[in-house]
Amino acid sequence: MKEFRGTKGEWLVDDIDVISRETGFAICQVYDGLDTHISEMDMEVVNANARLMATAPELLEALQAMLERFDYKEQSIYSFAAKEIDVAKAVIKKAIE
């Protein structure tokens, strides 16, 4: 499986930015407050989006680890989850390619 090429390490939410713990650099800005349409966005939604983005590397790592163990093609006991496993593999591919 290919490796994630984005910013390594832990990501944190810092106000409206998602930042790298190691470098302190912003990975993305969730909300800049300048666009009037976006400025109507509920800050609770903005913060929830930032938290989800900040956990993306951990979610990717956890999902990859799970898929290494749960291969329905090699272990038929997991065939009940074949569709979900295939979806997870496709999502990982989308994230890292």
Write down the domain spans for the chain.
1-54, 56-97
Specify whether the backbone of 9 is left (phi greater than 0), alpha (psi in -120 to 50) or beta. left
29/27 Cα distance (integer angstroms): 7
pTM: 0.76
Distance CA 44, CA 50 (A): 10
Q: How many CB atoms lie within 10 A of CB 46?
A: 16
Per-residue pLDDT of the chain (97 residues; tens, 9 = 90+): 678 888 888 898 887 788 888 888 889 888 766 665 655 667 788 888 889 999 999 999 999 999 999 988 888 998 999 999 999 999 999 998 8
